[in-house]
Amino acid sequence: MAVTPIWPEASAVNENGEITFHGRTAESLLDEFGSPLYLIDTDEVRQRAERFVHAAANAFDNTVTHVSFAGKAFLSKEICRIVTGAGMLIDTCSMGEMRIALAAGVPGRRLVLHGNNKSDEEIALAIEQGFAKIVVDEPDEPERIAAIAKRLGKRARVMLRVTSGIHAGGHEFISTAHEDQKFGVALLPAGADTSKLSVLDDLTDVTPAGSNARLAENGNAAAGADGKPAQRELQYDIKYPYDLSHEKVSEGDRKLADAMTMVADGPALAVLKEIYRRQDVLELVGVHSHIGSNIHDADAFIQAAKRMMLLRKTFYATDAYTLPEVDLGGGYSVAYTDGEDSMDIDAELGRLSQAVSSINRALGMPAPVISFEPGRWIVAPAGVTLYRVGTVKPVRLSGDTTDKAGNPVTERVYVSVDGGMSDNIRPALYGADYAVKLANRKGSGETRLSRVVGMHCESGDIIVHECQLPADITRGDVLAVPVTGAYGRTMASNYNQALIPAVVGVSEQGAHVMIRRQTIDDLLGWDVSE
């Protein structure tokens, strides 16, 4: 039984108060592998990867689903083998991530290349290795990819990342679907009336004629007979035996036409047309949407999915091409502290599936392949970081300071450890909150308000902002911070020339080094100046 629900399932507290992982005590792991130390429960990674793949397939049982592991969360050769063995692809966004996955033996057809500033070398490698898709991120990229593909004598599989305009909340650094940011191509023209998209929430008045309408080419560049710009028209080309008065367009059809017209005039559709024009060297496989990170429910995903399905419908209405795949991205939440929400994958993917099926049915479109990109959800709960305590320093306060509950604080104990923002930047970067426990003994029943801080030359070098730790905590004790499997090691640095900790995999089979600890020799070897 896990220490608490946010800890790996194979963690426990023994009779001596020591935290164990598959029977190994935290202190014995530090003694063997050094401190600080990243632990990854590889059994849990495998189980969570399999669970997500199955949840997606079960929820979208009327179509094919693809699940890609977001390598940016944490990547190693062993992790690559685990997640692909569970049925996942791997999403990469740098030459380093690509090379690690290929070195692990992952075939190109199980890999994806993302990124807002891909190098020619990265694009070429993806094409040579037959990547499942290259995600286009800006309007000029199709031309670059096409030129490289032609030079290599190959055809590249591409999908377009679309900025949907759905704001999922969270920290501004990880909110990726608003218009003023570096990712993707906007769905709508600048200044568009987004209220027109409200038709997507009620398509009951859309008729078969409306759902099978085609949009004429935009004539805005050419003036009509009266000198005014020509207007795009919705053409009801398909008549039904029971629809003898198709000229009488329903209100729902008119609203849908307005929404489609707005999308048809947007940047995303223009780029899709550019890709489609180069189909001799580019295979257009779909569209991609990513709206943010650590999102607790499906509401924002549903709104983004509706917009992607409208884009798909509009592209069919203008070019008679049915986009095969819609990638709904990642951002599925985990709980970092006890009592915090974590996305119920089965329930929320079920809600998302119902919404996607409903809108495609109303639009008269077949179900696309649906793709997902979880990263954090797979590896974060499988990870724990272990530290040795150094300095323990009580600080007297005036009483103007308050705790999280707003209560006056007259004393705080600063517990310094042998790591910090160099091995977990998230608290300093995002204000992320974590839990912490004494891991090598029971400790006294009395606790004190504490702040776990690192060893770096920054006041903001904080690992846990506020916690209750035993009053007798002392130098040499072991602290364990759970839910650090994502964005810990992968965002680590050598600030103050600190050595990046080792990553140790723990499982029923024992403990082993996945990624070795950096050494002083590494630091000296990189510095080649004389």
In order, the DSSP letters of 383-451 are EEEEEEEEEEEEEE--S--B-TTS-B-SEEEEEEES--TTT--HHHHH------EE-SS---S-EEEEE
Residues 6+ apart with CB under 8 A from 66: 89, 132, 325, 327, 369, 370, 371, 372
What dotted CATH number matches 11-41+380-526?
2.40.37.10
Q: At 247, is the pLDDT very low, low, confident or very high (cuts 50, 70, 90)?
A: low
DSSP H stretches of helix in 485-529:
520-526
User: What residue type is 480 in one-letter code?
Assistant: A
The domain covering 43-192+266-379 belongs, at the CATH homologous superfamily level, to Alanine racemase (3.20.20.10)
Residue 126's pLDDT is 98
What CA–CA distances, in Å, run from 457 to 434, 495, 530? 21, 9, 27
Residue percentage of the chain with pLDDT more than 70: 89
240-261 mean pLDDT: 68
Q: Which of 46-55, 118-127, 156-165, 166-175 has the lowest mean pLDDT?
A: 166-175
| Confidence band, pLDDT 50/70/90 cuts, at residue 38 | very high
DSSP class of residue 332? Answer: B
pLDDT of residue 396: 92
Residue 507 has pLDDT above 80, yes or no: yes
Query: Known catalytic residue: 457?
Result: yes
Q: Is the pLDDT of residue 105 over 60?
A: yes
Q: What is the pLDDT of residue 207?
A: 76
Which residue ranges make up each domain of the chain? 11-41+380-526, 43-192+266-379, 193-265
Convert the pLDDT of each residue in 271-322 to its tens digit: 999 999 999 999 999 999 998 888 989 999 999 999 999 999 999 988 889 9
Q: Please list, in sequence order, all residues whose beta carbon lies within 8 angstroms of the beta carbon of residue 33, skipping any fewer than 6 positions away.
A: 502, 504, 511, 513, 517
Tell me the pLDDT tens digit for each residue of 433-479.
Answer: 999 999 999 999 999 999 999 999 999 999 999 999 999 999 999 99
CB contact at 8 A, 512 and 505: yes
Q: How many CB atoms lie within 10 A of CB 117?
A: 11
Of the residues 80, 93, 457, 467, which is catalytic? 457
Confidence of residue 222 (pLDDT cuts 50, 70, 90): very low
Residues ≥6 apart with Cβ < 8 Å to 524: none
pLDDT tier at 416 (50, 70, 90 boundaries)?
very high
Assigned token pair, 134: 């290259």
Cis peptide upstream of residue 36 (ω within 30 degrees of 0): yes
Q: Please spell the DSSP secondary structure of 223-276, one letter per residue.
A: B-TTSSBP---EE-----TT-TTTTS--HHHHHHHHHHHHHHTSHHHHHHHHHH
